[in-house]
Structure 1
Amino acid sequence: MSRLSAALKSGLRRLTPARRRKRAVVLNSLELIARIGYGARGFVYLSGGALTLLAIPGLIDGAAGTRGAISWLALQPFGRAWVLLLGLGLLAIVSWRLLQAISDADNEGTDRQGISTRVSQGFSATGYALLAFSAFSLLFHTPADPGAADVAAGHREAARMLSLPFGNLLLAGLGLCIAGVGVSNIVKAWRDDFAAHLSCSVELCRRVVPLARAGYMARGIAWLPLAALIFLAGIRSRASDVTSFDAALDALGRQPGGVVLLAAAALGFIGFGVFSFIEARFRRIRPPREIVPV
């Protein structure tokens, strides 16, 4: 370690003042992008959890996931400004996730565990990119009932898939893939060391890690009802069985004991949102050497 530190210090001394300033600008810019991304993610999940809690006693109409929360914000005063800022923030988390997945910003390595983590980060980037796209689309057209519009869009996409050769198997396979996303979040909730990438005190890390575990657990469980509905739609070849994430949460709440599960999911979303804000403040951001060489 001493040799490595000496080599790094020697390399930094050889940098000209102009190159040092340029390197500092790049470092600070990448760090700012990552922190904005974590903050935007936190705001979306915190909003979705709060709206879902309000939906349980009927204070608002229907539970809300991430997309539902953005759609709800779009209908509020200054809604387009909110949506624009959230869309840009989500693009920031997409950029950081791509750096993690492609350039191994977190030094996960190339062993089986490292590749698995980086592939997961790549899928996460895709998911947030789709969420950012849906946010930007609301700038041009905000439906009066976003929930109904999402369900109708799901019906159309399912019907289009079922019209393909072996479309029912493709739709059922999509349901299994979504179930896999849910299960992977549940596994991550138990397995990962969420404090490993935080630069905070031991006491603070000890307090916030349960928020991350609850959040990933809630995300995983919340995906399973939607996965089951899409899988059954494929098996039955019925596009009308496909619904949206928000409608699947509502269906969960209507089951026996579903109110308790829905409340737990909402609190988990809120916990995940709070933990995302913690990451926005305390996460160690390590830009890849390919982009910021020493």
Structure 2
Amino acid sequence: MIDKSEKFSWLVRTGFAARGITYILLGYIALSTRGDAEGGGSAVYDYLQEVPFGTPILWVMSVGLLAYVAFRLMCAISDIQHRGTDFTGILKRIGDAASAVAHLFLAYACFQFATWTRTSTEGDSGGQAMAGSILQYDTGWILILLIGLGFLTGAFMQAKTAVTAHFMHRISRHAPAIVNPIGRIGHLARAAVFLLIGWSMTRGALAGEEDRIRGLGEAILALRDMSYIYVWVAVGLILFGLFSLFTAFYRVIPDFGPEGLKPSFRA
């Protein structure tokens, strides 16, 4: 019988694998089109619709991305990674929450394509559509502003992680040595994208205009006029995707014990 810990582990690993596929395809499409593609991150799922078994793959990725979102929310709310309540720990947990939101947008777009219910709204990952729905409420701009600040915090933490390679603390010692350098480059590229998303959300919230808000794919396309930076970010996201696939295999997953939601780690 598969226990609760093993089910949780498989869900988390599926989430990291789905994240990896998304980032690899996103970087690949950005490089191959050099900014000519429309739809940003949604082009990833549009691309998958055209390959054999594309719809089943989209369903698996939808579930995987939702599992990853749930994992990041648990990291932010329940502190299952034991980040602590000091200043650094709080910043990391805010970054976890921002990551959950970013991948919720991706999961939303992926689900739309899996069910063939994509709307005419052109958003790279469902970001503008979801943000527009939130801004319809009187206090919606406050929530978007907080999410934007969360992305800015996440960008800082991603950049810091790229420098310190702290992500290796949660990777098994059996992982190949290449995981470290590709993880550093990938996190730095992701920091640049998070910075653009956070800035756009902050401006969009203050102006009350969802058209200013960018999701993952649109943040990349915003760099297309800066050729070298655009290519570097696209390559970096491919490497982050590869890092995510390695993480799916070698991540040290929290082990749920009788104490409840907050687990201990196993090597």
**TM norm. shorter chain > 0.5:** yes
SS of 2:168 mapped into structure 1: coil
Q: CA deviation at 1:271?
A: 0.9
Residue ranges of structure 2 left out of the alignment (5+ in a row): none
CA distance in 1, matches of 2:13, 2:214: 33
Give the corresponding residue for 2:96. Answer: 121
Aligned to 1:17: none
Q: CA deviation at 1:106?
A: 2.8
How big is the shift at 1:238?
A: 6.2
Given residue 137 of structure 1, which amino acid in structure 2 is its aligned partner?
Answer: Q
Using the TM superposition, give the Cα deviation of residue 69 of structure 1 relative to its aligned residue in structure 2, in angstroms.
1.7
Unpaired segments ≥5 residues, structure 1: 1-21
Report the Cα distance in structure 2 between the residues aligned to 1:174 and 1:122, rounded to whole angstroms: 8
Please tell me whether residue 277 in structure 1 is matched to residue 266 in structure 2.
no
Equivalent position to 1:61, from 37, 41, 48: 37
Query: How many residues are treated as equivalent by the alignment?
Result: 261
Deviates more, 1:108-117 or 1:129-138: 108-117
Other-structure match for 1:252 = 223
Q: 2:59 aligns with which of 60, 73, 84?
A: 84
Preserved contact between residue 63 and residue 250 of structure 1 (Cα < 8 Å):
no
Mark the CA change 1:137 to 1:196 in structure 2 (over 3 Å): closer, same or farther.
Answer: same
1:287, distance to aligned residue in structure 2 (A): 1.9
Question: Alpha-carbon deviation of 1:239?
Answer: 5.8
Question: Helix, strand or coil for the counterpart of 2:122?
Answer: helix
Larger helix proportion of the pair: 1
Normalising by structure 2, we get a TM-score of 0.76
Q: 1:107 aligns with which of 82, 87, 94?
A: 82
- Confirm or deny that 1:154 pairs with 2:141: no
Q: Which moved more, 1:181-190 or 1:265-274?
A: 181-190
RMSD: 3.8
- Which amino acid in the other structure matches residue 190 of structure 1? V
TM-score (norm 1): 0.70
After TM superposition, give the deviation of residue 93 of structure 1 in Å. Answer: 1.7
Per-residue CA deviations over 1:89-136 (Å, capped at 9, x if unaligned) read 112223333443444433334444334333432443343334223322
Residue 45 of structure 1, CA deviation: 0.9
Tell me the distance in 2 between the aligned counterparts of 1:233 and 1:268: 27
Alpha-carbon shift at residue 63 of structure 1 (Å): 8.0
Give the Cα separation in 1 of the matches to 2:31 and 2:64. 24
Give aligned-pair identity as a percent. 25
- Residue aligning to 2:157: 184
C-alpha separation between the residues in 2 aligned to 1:244 and 1:116? 21
Question: Residue 108 of structure 1 aligns to a residue in which SS?
Answer: coil
Aligned to 2:170: 197
Specify the alignment match of 2:14 in structure 1.
36
8 A Cα contact 2:155 2:192, kept in partner: yes
Give the aligned residue type for 2:22.
V
